[in-house]
Chains A and B, each alone.
Chain A
């Protein structure tokens, strides 16, 4: 019952957050300079054509009217249509004229759903790699607070945070892909194309996991129940794995919720560099092309994913440690 109440409350709050997010992004896009119509009709179009198309698309109405129209569509599951991408998949260029008011433009929801699995795959692999890198180092550092393991954890963490992800991506492409020909890098033609971008992302996330793991494990190991476990004659392995780690896991799970936005930001840049067909790449291309409906759709999707994952994180934290308040 408690969990049900929690879910209802958090989902209601989450919807409010998504609503505010969409409002912020919507207003920002309308307020900042840069007219999408100019790009749609092409640089050579006379001003009266620009005005006509803009009025037809409803871009000259007051922001609040536009937003109301947008929200009405959103409630019916319609995120609008892209300004730039026709259904066929090609990006319309400035030269040819595609009438954006007609229905031959790709619906935003399709564009997003088509790419979301790729991004989730990349994010999942990155998280897996990050845990594989961070776990041994973090646990070692946490258990031996004054040993070399802690110094190693500290060093690795400081170094990894300091490596710019896009630079690492380029260097890895140069060495692993171009020089050694070990892994494919650009585009997507199969699972092996995920590995290199996921590795770069993992290096970006790993330091946060290492830091949290060393600190929280270090704190837990000083707790009295660990001493008592020793007195009870439990083996060290048993103490660490079934008592200490379980208690140290709560901050770690919370961290994943907070670091999600770093992960999403990293995904964006990394996808762009590796030309990986995910949401991040779509974002960069849409921002450059001022494809407002796509940007709004992505912002709403990411904030919904963010809210959703944070609810899951709190729930998991509660399941691990029922003392956590939800």
Chain B
């Protein structure tokens, strides 16, 4: 009887400790100036891209040809406050187009990473926990998938089927999960041998129960912190697809397609190509700052560095 109480108390104590570790990582990251800078820029961008298109009467897709090639404020001689970032070759407001582009970019980035996280970690945990031939089969598929550069896979699928937001998300998720599967698998293998899992086995807990209720809360949060960095990576992929003409289709603006279209006007109207890039780079920097700070905090707490 005494033995069962000790073993039974073990998992509870572990989860409580891990939860506080996660909170410590978040707190630690929050104390870094780089995290706060990234966080505030990100929130500001998020608010602007959510609010401005709603309250403004300017449309991102309506063409006003007489207003074409207006430069950004304080540059050139024809600028106006109506179009702070200027207008493009068809007289569409650049700021509005960038903001709508940012909305789609964020949507694709975040949803994709969530999907990747679920698929990759799910398969990885399962493979690592089940072991035997499940492990072999899943990991060999992962290796094969890793050896096809994701961009080739993505453009192969999108090049021959019609790119819409859901297909883009699915394609990116399909090509992004293997790395997560690997990380989750190695964590699960390490976790499988731990005392508390063996204890739970003795208590008669099933594989799924151990996996979902006890092992997953230990394994997943450290991976999730770093997944923030992948949101930025997926946003870049989305814009690359747009640039190749395989992303969100016009007239809906996306960073990639705006930049691709603007190449023709590069010499005379440089702002059409450069401002969306700077906009995207700022958004990505803010996400990367948060992600790297979280990663740093995690490494510091887990590795003592």
Q: Which residues of A come within 8 Å of B, CB atoms?
A: 13, 16-18, 20-21, 24-25, 28-29, 32-34, 145, 154, 157-159, 161-168, 170-171, 173-174, 178, 211, 215, 218-219, 222, 258, 261-262, 264-265, 268-269, 272, 283-284, 287-288, 290, 295, 298-299, 302-303, 306-307
Q: How far is the CA of A261 from the CA of B153 in the complex (A)?
A: 11
What 4 additional pairs, Cβ within 8 angstroms, besides A154-B34, A170-B259, A272-B244? Answer: A16-B140, A154-B292, A167-B281, A269-B151
A218 touches B305 (CB 8 A): yes
> What 1/0 flags go to B139-179 for Cβ under 8 Å of A?
01101111111111101110111000000000000000001
Tell me whether A24 and B146 are in contact in the complex, defined as CB-CB below 8 angstroms, given that A158-B34, A174-B270 are known contacts.
no
> What 1/0 flags go to B119-153 for Cβ under 8 Å of A?
00000000000000000000011011111111111
A219 touches B303 (CB 8 A): yes
B244 touches A20 (CB 8 A): no
Q: How far is the CA of A32 from the CA of B274 in the complex (A)?
A: 35
Q: Does any Cβ of A come within 8 Å of B280's Cβ?
A: yes
Closest residue of chain A to B240, judged by CB?
A269
A264 touches B144 (CB 8 A): no
CB-contact partner of A158 in B255, B276, B289, under 8 A: B289
Closest residue of chain A to B241, judged by CB?
A269
Closest residue of chain B to A222, judged by CB?
B305
Tell me whether A32 and B147 are in contact in the complex, defined as CB-CB below 8 angstroms, given that A272-B244, A284-B244 are known contacts.
no
Which A residues touch B273, using CB under 8 A? 167, 170-171, 174
Q: Does any Cβ of A come within 8 Å of B190's Cβ?
A: no
B292 touches A302 (CB 8 A): no
Q: For the complex formed, measure the closest distance between the CB of B295 and the CB atoms of chain A, giving whole angstroms.
A: 9
Q: Does any Cβ of A come within 8 Å of B232's Cβ?
A: yes
Q: How far is the CA of A194 from the CA of B59 in the complex (A)?
A: 42
Q: How far is the CA of A284 from the CA of B228 in the complex (A)?
A: 29
List residues of B (223-266) whose CB comes within 8 Å of A's CBs.
229, 232-233, 236, 239-240, 243-244, 255-256, 259, 263, 266
Q: Does any Cβ of A come within 8 Å of B284's Cβ?
A: yes
CB-contact partner of B157 in A16, A32, A306, under 8 A: A32
Q: How far is the CA of A150 from the CA of B34 in the complex (A)?
A: 13
Q: How far is the CA of A28 from the CA of B175 in the complex (A)?
A: 13
B281 touches A265 (CB 8 A): no
Q: How far is the CA of A25 from the CA of B148 in the complex (A)?
A: 9
Chain B: interface residue count, which band?
35 or more
Which A residues touch B148, using CB under 8 A? 21, 24-25, 261, 299, 302-303
B232 touches A17 (CB 8 A): no
CB-contact partner of A307 in B147, B157, B292, under 8 A: B147
Q: For the complex formed, measure the closest distance between the CB of B28 and the CB atoms of chain A, giving whole angstroms.
A: 15
Q: Does any Cβ of A come within 8 Å of B14's Cβ?
A: no
Closest 6 CB pairs of A and B: A167-B277, A265-B151, A162-B284, A34-B160, A20-B144, A287-B159
Which A residues touch B282, using CB under 8 A? 162
Q: How far is the CA of A159 from the CA of B232 in the complex (A)?
A: 12
Q: Does any Cβ of A come within 8 Å of B89's Cβ?
A: no
Q: How far is the CA of A262 from the CA of B146 in the complex (A)?
A: 11
Which B residues touch A268, using CB under 8 A? 149, 151-152, 155
Which A residues touch B243, using CB under 8 A? 166, 269
Which B residues touch A171, using CB under 8 A? 273-274, 277
Which A residues touch B3, using CB under 8 A? none
Q: How far is the CA of A33 from the CA of B143 in the complex (A)?
A: 27
CB-contact partner of B244 in A222, A264, A269, under 8 A: A269
A163 touches B281 (CB 8 A): yes
Which B residues touch A16, using CB under 8 A? 140
Q: For the complex formed, measure the closest distance between the CB of A29 and the CB atoms of chain B, giving whole angstroms.
A: 7
Which A residues touch B263, using CB under 8 A? 170
B232 touches A162 (CB 8 A): yes
Tell me whether A265 and B161 are in contact in the complex, defined as CB-CB below 8 angstroms, given that A164-B236, A166-B259 are known contacts.
no
Which A residues touch B256, using CB under 8 A? 166
Q: How far is the CA of A283 from the CA of B150 in the complex (A)?
A: 13
17 A-B residue contacts at CB 8 Å?
A: A17-B147, A28-B156, A29-B156, A33-B160, A34-B159, A158-B288, A162-B288, A164-B239, A164-B255, A166-B240, A170-B273, A174-B266, A261-B146, A269-B151, A269-B240, A284-B155, A295-B156
B305 touches A219 (CB 8 A): yes
Which A residues touch B270, using CB under 8 A? 174
Which A residues touch B303, using CB under 8 A? 219
B232 touches A161 (CB 8 A): yes
Which B residues touch A154, using CB under 8 A? 34, 292, 296
Q: Among the interface residues A33, A158, A306, which one has the most CB atoms of the partner chain B within 10 A?
A: A158
Which B residues touch A295, using CB under 8 A? 156
Q: Does any Cβ of A come within 8 Å of B80's Cβ?
A: no
A302 touches B274 (CB 8 A): no
B147 touches A303 (CB 8 A): yes
Which A residues touch B280, using CB under 8 A? 164, 167
Q: For the complex formed, measure the closest distance between the CB of A263 and the CB atoms of chain B, giving whole angstroms.
A: 8
Q: For the complex formed, measure the closest distance between the CB of B112 and the CB atoms of chain A, giving whole angstroms.
A: 15
Q: How far is the CA of A231 from the CA of B146 in the complex (A)?
A: 45
Q: Does any Cβ of A come within 8 Å of B202's Cβ?
A: no
Q: Does any Cβ of A come within 8 Å of B285's Cβ?
A: yes
A287 touches B239 (CB 8 A): no
Q: How far is the CA of A132 from the CA of B143 in the complex (A)?
A: 30
> What 1/0 flags go to B282-305 for Cβ under 8 Å of A?
101101110010001001000101
